[in-house]
Amino acid sequence: MNQTRRAFLGTSAAVGSGAIAGCLGGDDPSEPSESPAEDDPEPPEPPVIGDPEADVTVVVYEDFACPACQAFKLNVFPALGEQYLEPGSVRYEHRDFPVIGSSWSWELPSAAREVFETEGDNAFWAFTSRVYEHQGSYSYEIVEDIADEVGADGADVREAAEEDRHRSAIEAQRSYGRANGISGTPTVVVDGDPVEFYDSETQTFSEMAFEETADAIDAALE
């Protein structure tokens, strides 16, 4: 076990201590009963970090209203970044998969998509990491302020959230996930194989998720 994994597993997670179950999909009253994206699950280009040309691809499906996704993004993602993304060992993709019956499950992806399409990958990853810190107290003001902080047009990003501007792109991503067997968040897929997450009596969710994800990546890199 390398130093990064020892350090991560040897400390208490800042977010997500204790058992946090993932968020399972169900009937979402904010989603149309029929979506044109269901007929064509091909998703839009995803935000990418790491080496875009790496042999190993990690895809993470998230819902901004899911507490387990917050724990994964704020605790696990930075550790994966240090171990795999900074060295360029993997290609890491974000995909939206709204499962919570909250307007933020759709509006925040629209805001993040606007940041991505106007400012690129780096701004997207900075925006999403910062906005997760405010889960439970999301507001359009927070969206605008963080967008400004990462170099985007805050007022325009806020408007994208308020107008649900990128709804069709989010629907296409959700349809793509469903077509590939995704039913909840966070779901991590390493080279086409989903990583198994479980409730642990001895580890926090973040510790378990990091260990399982790192094991899957290490196996794929062999």
Question: What's residue 24's pLDDT?
Answer: 73
- Answer yes or no: is 30 within a domain: no
Question: What's residue 35's pLDDT?
Answer: 43
> Mean pLDDT for each 10-residue chunk of the chain (222 residues)?
50 42 57 45 88 98 97 98 97 96 96 98 98 98 98 98 96 94 96 93 94 98 96
- Answer yes or no: is 52 within a domain: yes
The token pair that represents 177 in the structure block: 């996930």
Question: Checking DSSP bridges between strand 187-190 and strand 184-185, what pairing results, if any?
Answer: unpaired
The token pair that represents 160 in the structure block: 């994208």
- Answer yes or no: is 104 within a domain: yes
- Answer yes or no: is 115 within a domain: yes
Strands (E), 4-64: 23-24, 48-50, 56-62
**pTM of this structure:** 0.86
- The residue range of the domain holding 63 is 45-221
- Answer yes or no: is 54 within a domain: yes
Which residue in the block uniquely carries the two structure tokens 């990064």?
4
What CATH code is carried by the domain that includes residue 188?
Answer: 3.40.30.10
Q: Does a cis peptide bond (omega within 30 degrees of 0) precede residue 186?
A: yes
Number of domains in the chain: 1
- Answer yes or no: is 59 within a domain: yes
- Answer yes or no: is 156 within a domain: yes
Question: Can you name the residues that pair with 58 across neighbouring β-strands?
Answer: 92, 190
Chain-centre distance for alpha carbon 138: 16
- Answer yes or no: is 38 within a domain: no
